[in-house]
Amino acid sequence: MKKPIEFNTEHKLAGTLARAGTLKTEHGTIQTPAFVTVGTKATVKSLTPEQVKDLGAQVVLANTYHLYLQPGEEVLKSAGGLNKFMKWDGPTMTDSGGFQVFSLGVAFGTKVGKLAKAGEIIVGEEIEKGDEAGKLAKIDEDGVTFKSYKDGSEHRFTPERSIEIQQSIGADMIFVFDECTSPAAPHKYQQEAMDRTHRWAKRSLNAHHANKEASEKQGLFGIVQGGRHRDLREESARVLAGMNFDGYGIGGSFDKDDMYNAVGWVNAILPENKPRHLLGIGEPIDLFGAVENGCDLFDCVAPTRQARNGALYTNDGRININNAKYIKDFTPIDSECDCYTCKNYTRAYIAHLFRSQEMSAATLASIHNLRFLIALVEKMRTSIIDETFLDLKTKFIERYYK
């Protein structure tokens, strides 16, 4: 049986879990660690695939639930798969729809995010005050019933169904259907949800391998859950490590201050010869913790969403380009950044585009934020190989927060 993806470690950084490697897929080889660009609806918002490629982006992650709702799996299948459909010729991934169990479920209509500070979490709060009837996702043992956020129509995802759709979409790497829990859920619920996610993982694995053609082309990633609890995280890592996945995702919610530790607990247990993807993280600072604690891949909507909202990364911290002080600032967003935007435009110009609500504001800002992150991870990779990672980390963080 042919292996769909192949992961090799090139260099491990002593005293940490960090590693530099390569991940071979049908559509090319990814140098890890790598930032995975998010293209939920088969497009990186505001960018063409050519622009995405020019950023140095190596891999794009789309979303099963969104593509299932629109344009539908038949269209993706008829198009010849995600790559051809969106004209991206590099490696791809699809998320399973597991995050939507959370974002359209308990989190819907609340301010609850997947990251929370321990002191600010009121366990069970949103379960009590949440209006169950208003939620768009409802979980049972077999799967999840969703109400479309677009038109209210009802849809049903099971692990088998998610895998089937992901096979139609045809990304190089796909994820099991899981439940992303809320940070406010109590330990008891986290355990129930984790156990259910493990049962779903097994079902996803069986469903994928039942299709020999697909499973030889698409790598399937299991997803570790367990919330912010060490006992659950470690148990989840052990259980999933015992199943034959091609790679592992680390999902769910975290205590913001303890996230890197949680990632370390898990990666100390997961098999070393498989790639590890930290789902939905993160911002520049977060990537250091993720890499240091053994992650090879991470995706995040933050760079693109924040870019569209005017929050731009610089080596001296995040700036809000909408602030009045940038109206006459004729310097680049970050003079050390090598992106197209920074090489050609000023803060004043970007500020003007935002204030006049020009679409190019989103494009130029997204180019910057993505390139900033991708370049940062490129530096991390180099620094793992030449053993200067910790120095890079210390200097970056010190300056970013100054």
Has 95 been annotated as catalytic? yes
Which of residues 54, 164, 258, 283 is near RNA by CB under 7 A?
283
- Which residue is catalytic, options 255, 296, 299, 334? 299
CA-to-CA dists, residue 104 to 115, 150, 190, 252, 289, angstroms: 16, 12, 18, 14, 28
Q: Which stretch binds RNA (CB under 7 A): 14-22, 77-85, 201-209, 244-252?
A: 244-252
Cis status, amide bond into 71, omega within 30 of 0: yes
Query: Binding residue for RNA (CB under 7 A) from 128, 129, 359, 398?
Result: 359
Which class for 104: exposed (0-12), middle (13-18), buried (19 or more C-beta within 10 A)?
buried
Structure tokens at 296: 């090879």
Q: Examine residue 275 and tell whether it contacts RNA (CB under 7 A).
A: no
Catalytic residue among 95, 246, 255, 334: 95
Applying CB under 7 A, which of residues 7, 68, 85, 99 lies at the interface with RNA?
99
Q: How far apart are CA 93 and CA 59, in angstroms?
A: 7
Relative to beta strand 19-25, strand 6-12 is antiparallel
Is the Cα dihedral 384, 218, 190, 121 positive or negative? positive
185 contacts RNA (rule: CB under 7 A): no
CA distance 316 to 308: 20
Torsional sign, CA 321, 327, 332, 335: negative
If binding is defined by CB under 7 A, does position 327 make contact with RNA? yes
In sequence order, what DSSP letters do the residues of 55-98 get, joined into one string? TT---EEEEHHHHHHTT-HHHHHHHTSHHHHHT--S-EEEE-SH
Which of 3, 70, 78, 109 binds RNA (CB under 7 A)? It is 109
| Contact range with RNA by CB under 7 A, out of 13-21, 36-44, 78-86, 384-392 | 36-44
Under the binding rule (CB under 7 A), the answer on residue 149 touching RNA is yes
96 touching RNA, by CB under 7 A: yes
Q: Which is nearer to RNA, 27 or 355 (CB)?
A: 355
Residues of the shown chain interacting with RNA in the complex, contacts defined by CB under 7 A:
38, 40-41, 44-45, 61, 63, 65-66, 95-96, 98-100, 102-104, 107-110, 113-115, 149, 175, 178, 180, 223, 249, 251-252, 256, 279-283, 286, 299-302, 304-306, 308-311, 320, 322-325, 327, 355, 357, 359, 362
Tell me the catalytic residues.
95, 299
